Structure 1
Amino acid sequence: MDTHQRDLYPDVTAGGGLVSAVGRAAELGMGEIWPVPSPIDDIVGVETARGILSVVLATEERLFRVRVHIPGITWDTPGFTWEIGSTDNLGLLVEAVVAWREGVPFDELAARFTFLELDEFARALDKGEPASLQWAELLSTEFHRRQWNLLRRLHADEVLRRVFPTISHGAVRLRVDLFDGASRQVLVHEPDADRYEVILPGVPGADWVEVPTGDLIAYLRAALNQG
């Protein structure tokens, strides 16, 4: 932590760094949360059933930025991350982290911690419906127009539309369990119109396989063990 940041976060410095400060604050008032050490001093993560909750120190002003991260299947596989708010109060931050980890309902979290920005996606998580909202987002975002043809083909299937989609390096990633980084998943790429390549991330020796258009849905269902 540089001199500027030490001036902004004297409580963190006095606590021996962000990991120690967060862990100690939790022990003093709210129970243990077992922060996960990070190779970066200004980031701390806490494993929860709702993903890894990470806290990042802002550099220009005193702010603890809170993010949720769903890891990829391997260290170099992209995950899924979104921000849920920020506060300058370390004690309040830790209280919110503990409540999140304990599974406090999102409506109660929003009422108790007004700095949290629990948007439509967070509420979809609470209702167990994140996949439907994510499909709608991808199919309506101009940035992903190049993938719309493939997305529509996949979404048209009543089984695959229940699987959580993301875009990774131009390919569509389908993951069965959003919160499990090792969950069964596939990557589908459309290099040309109606020509598809598929790979199973995390499977030793896996490589891209070209799949005929007529076989694509059945192939993906089988790869994901989704009937």
Structure 2
Amino acid sequence: MNTHQNDLYPDVTASGGLAPAMKEAAKLRGCDIGISPWESGSISIETTRGIVSVHPAAEERLFRMRVLTPGSTWEVPGFSWEIGSTDDLGLLVEAVAAWREGMPLDGLKARFEFLELGEFARAIEIGEPTSLQWPGLLSSDFHRRQGNLLRRLHADGVLRNMFPSITHGAVRLHTDPLDGTSRQVLVHELDGDLYEVILAGIPGAAWVEVATGDLIAYLRAALNKQ
């Protein structure tokens, strides 16, 4: 069997990997995509509108473009979303360059039809994603197990202003969804009367058991610490 004929990414293979292939494509098009000279493996490009990553699909030729909220790290993750995919490497690098340069979303969508810039992307651009995230989680069948906890947190006038996400079954509350280093807590429901809470991203932090009657006050205090 000729493996080259079955290679979905012969251009990537010929260049020695995705990073060098993207650099070469960007150079040919006069684009600056911000990949460091030593980048050779996974693609992670910092921009003012989040960290752009590119992942080739395994089942078909598609370059998937994702964005992770600014300031995110492996230890303190933010929110990530896929904003489109294309089989055209040249078009991809042009879109990455335009995103990195701060082209408005309407301009990006008009120029790059493969991009899927929905309500959440627009909320991120204007800095107001929280109001969209709560309804999505509260109505999600996938996160039904966290439904009671989410409803309880959302009912509080302070905590509903925090950005919620789900991490390994626990509810994460972010004080600032656009800053992955901002204060965050993880809340895991043990049963109806007991929860585990941890201050995310703090070295040495440990899970603390909190009774249901103390949960809201505990979270408020944890998120307001300087």
Q: Name the TM-score, length of structure 1 as normaliser.
A: 0.84
Q: Which runs of structure 2 are paired with 1:28-43 in the superposition (5 Å)? A: 28-35=28-35, 41=41, 43=42
Aligned residue in 2 for 1:217: 216
C-alpha displacement of 1:187: 0.5
CA RMSD of aligned residues (A): 2.8
| TM-aligned CA distance change 1:223 to 1:200, over 3 Å | same
The answer to whether 1:108 aligns with 2:107 is yes
**1:1-227 equivalences in 2 (<5 Å):** 3-4=3-4, 7-35=7-35, 41=41, 43-70=42-69, 75=74, 79-225=78-224
2 CA distance for matches of 1:61 and 1:143? 27
Query: For 1:206 and 1:226, how far apart are their aligned partners in 2?
Result: 14
CA contact (8 A) 2:45 2:53 kept: yes
Unaligned 5+ segments in structure 2 are none
- Gaps spanning 5+ residues in structure 1: where? none
Q: Deviations over 1:9-40 (max 9, x none)?
A: 3332343321122123334434432226778x
Aligned length: 224
Q: Give the aligned residue type for 2:149.
A: L
Separation of aligned partners in 2, 1:60 and 1:190: 37
Percent of matched pairs sharing the same residue? 68
Deviations 1:157-197 (A, max 9, x none): 22221211111222110112223332211011221114222
Quote the offset at 1:141 in angstroms.
0.7
1:191-215 alpha-carbon deviations (Å, 9 max, x no partner): 1114222111222221111223343
Higher deviation after alignment, 143-152 or 65-74: 65-74
TM (norm. structure 2) is: 0.85
Distance 1:54 1:217, change over 3 A: same
Q: Find the aligned partners of 1:114 and 1:149 in 2 and give their Cα distance.
A: 39
Counterpart CA distance in 1 for 2:5 and 2:178 is: 33
Deviation at 1:114, TM superposition (A): 0.4
TM-superposed CA distance for 1:71, in Å, is 8.2
Q: Judging changes above 3 Å, is the alpha-carbon distance between structure 1 residues 131 and 56 closer, same or farther for their aligned structure 2 residues?
A: same
Distance in 2 (CA, whole Å) between partners of 1:3 and 1:57 is: 18
Aligned-partner Cα distance in 2 for 1:73–1:121: 17
Q: Encode CA deviations 1:89-130: one digit per residue, 9 max, x unaligned.
A: 111111111111122221221111100111222122123221
Amino acid of the structure 2 residue aligned with 1:106: L
Hey, what's the Cα distance between the residues in 1 that align with 2:46 and 2:100? 8
CA-to-aligned-CA distance 1:117-166 (integer Å, 9 cap, x gap): 11222122123221111111110011212211111111122222121111
1 CA distance for matches of 2:208 and 2:219? 12
Looking at structure 1, the residues matched to 202 and 5 of structure 2 have their Cα atoms a distance apart, in angstroms, of 42
How far the C-alpha of 1:4 sits from its partner, in A, is 4.6
3-state DSSP class of the match of 1:224? helix
Supply the AA of the counterpart residue of 1:197.
E
